[in-house]
Amino acid sequence: MLIRSIETIPVAVPLKKPFKTALRTVTIADVIYVKVTCNDGRVGWGEAVPTHVITGETVGSISYAIEKVIAPQLIGLDIRRTAILFKKLSASIVRNTSAKAAIDIAFHDLIGQRTGLPLSMYLGGFRQTISTDFTVSVDEPEQMAEDAVCFVADGFNVLKVKVGLGDIKTDIKRIKTIRERIGFDTKIRLDANQGWKPRDAVRAISLMEDSGFEIELVEQPVMADDIEGLKYVTDRTLTPIMADESVYSAKDALRVLQMHAADFINIKLMKSGGIHEAMKINALAELYGVECMVGSMIETKLGITAAVHFAASQSNCTRFDLDAPLMLSEDVVTGGVVYKGNKIHLPNEAGLGLMRNAINLTSNESSQ
């Protein structure tokens, strides 16, 4: 089972409405699908997402990295020899984690197909179904509260609210307005996307604690590379703090864990470079008694299906932020995970569980 070809296919899917965080506004999900074909005709699929404000990658950089740099180093390798496969993939280029994630996902799809197991079973098989939160974009407080009411009505009992844009007073008003509208039956977790300075983060979180807003956790309050700042916030607040942009690799995770700089880690395949490294991050976190959330970028159902297989397979992954496909105006993938309210169900087929003609690009541009 040797790798014969690795192809890239750019895909653009408009969002139902603009998605806003402290870092950016997104209106179109620009992604790159990767198709890995083996000499026995078997095909594995992966997805890369250019999130320039987080991983530094663009559609152009991902296509170039895969086609010109990574693929030539992997053609001819045996899909069964995973120790060689993932070592070569990891060493093929520094950073470029989304480009590597797409290939890692396609490899895992093929490994699952070869073993005859759904990928989640191959990885550990802890759960078959997970529940996701739904994300409230950062906006004017009234608009956010309006959105929150709609998501709760749709069956979501955990909301992830984006903050960190503008001053702390505005963030407090955002949460106050949302709580007044939805009450306290719904869990609220916050994501500041690096928008606060350490001292401001402590002030904001303490004010929210004093106001009784009942915040489950706060994700990435400070700049990604400010691990001391992250620890400063974690040490001074009762609300648990989660590292997201601060942790890409197992090495990053180890530093955060050894310093006790965060209470939780958010794993995303686009940051870790795929499932292989994600398993290492989760194993390290488990060793330190730190639970992981599995999240995503603005990905389509292909990348999310891979993330759900990983997330469901591990007992230490206890929180899930995998709502991105619900924000898209269309679904170009046949097969994969199925959404019902806030529940995500895994397919029973081997590998990722995509259908034979999984990718329907009739209404999208595709090139190759």
Catalytic (active-site) positions: 162, 268
Compare residues 201 and 332 and give the one whose CB is closer to Mg ion.
201
C-alpha 4/C-alpha 77 separation (Å) is 9
Interface pick for Mg ion out of 57, 109, 200, 244 (rule CB under 5 A): 244
Strand stretches in 21-60, DSSP E:
25-38, 43-48
C-alpha 251/C-alpha 234 separation (Å) is 20
Residue of 120, 110, 119, 166 whose CA lies nearest to 140: 166
Stretch that binds Mg ion, among 116-124, 216-224, 231-239, 311-319 (CB under 5 A): 216-224
Residue 47 binds Mg ion (CB under 5 A): no
The minimum distance between CB 36 and Mg ion, in angstroms, equals 29
Give CA 182 to chain center in angstroms.
26
For 219, the token pair is 């994700």
Distances in Å between the Cα of 160 and the Cα atoms of 137, 193, 218, 226 are 9, 12, 9, 23
Stretch that binds Mg ion, among 49-57, 240-248, 279-287, 339-347 (CB under 5 A): 240-248
Residue of 328, 273, 216 whose CA lies nearest to 100: 273
The minimum distance between CB 121 and Mg ion, in angstroms, equals 28
The minimum distance between CB 231 and Mg ion, in angstroms, equals 18
The minimum distance between CB 317 and Mg ion, in angstroms, equals 15
C-alpha 47/C-alpha 299 separation (Å) is 8
Stretch that binds Mg ion, among 96-104, 120-128, 145-153, 217-225 (CB under 5 A): 217-225
Compare residues 99 and 267 and give the one whose CB is closer to Mg ion.
267
Compare residues 111 and 317 and give the one whose CB is closer to Mg ion.
317
Residues 155, 161: contact at Cβ < 8 Å? no
Element (H, E) at 236: helix 227-236
The minimum distance between CB 17 and Mg ion, in angstroms, equals 19
Count of residues binding Mg ion (CB under 5 A)? 3
Compare residues 133 and 244 and give the one whose CB is closer to Mg ion.
244
Stretch that binds Mg ion, among 87-95, 124-132, 211-219, 330-338 (CB under 5 A): 211-219
Closest residue to Mg ion, Cβ-based? 244
Helix (H, G, I), strand (E, B) or coil at 169: helix
Residue 219 binds Mg ion (CB under 5 A): yes
Q: Which of residues 158-197 bind Mg ion (CB under 5 A)?
A: 191
Element (H, E) at 242: strand 241-243
Residue 321 binds Mg ion (CB under 5 A): no
Compare residues 57 and 191 and give the one whose CB is closer to Mg ion.
191
Give CA 345 to chain center in angstroms.
17
Compare residues 178 and 192 and give the one whose CB is closer to Mg ion.
192
The minimum distance between CB 319 and Mg ion, in angstroms, equals 12
Distances in Å between the Cα of 354 and the Cα atoms of 52, 119, 332, 339 are 28, 11, 11, 15
b/e per residue, 196-229, with b = 16+ CB within 10 A?
bebebbbbbbeebeeeebebbbbbbbbbbebbeb
Helix (H, G, I), strand (E, B) or coil at 217: strand
The minimum distance between CB 322 and Mg ion, in angstroms, equals 12
Compare residues 92 and 220 and give the one whose CB is closer to Mg ion.
220
Site residues (vs Mg ion, CB under 5 A):
191, 219, 244
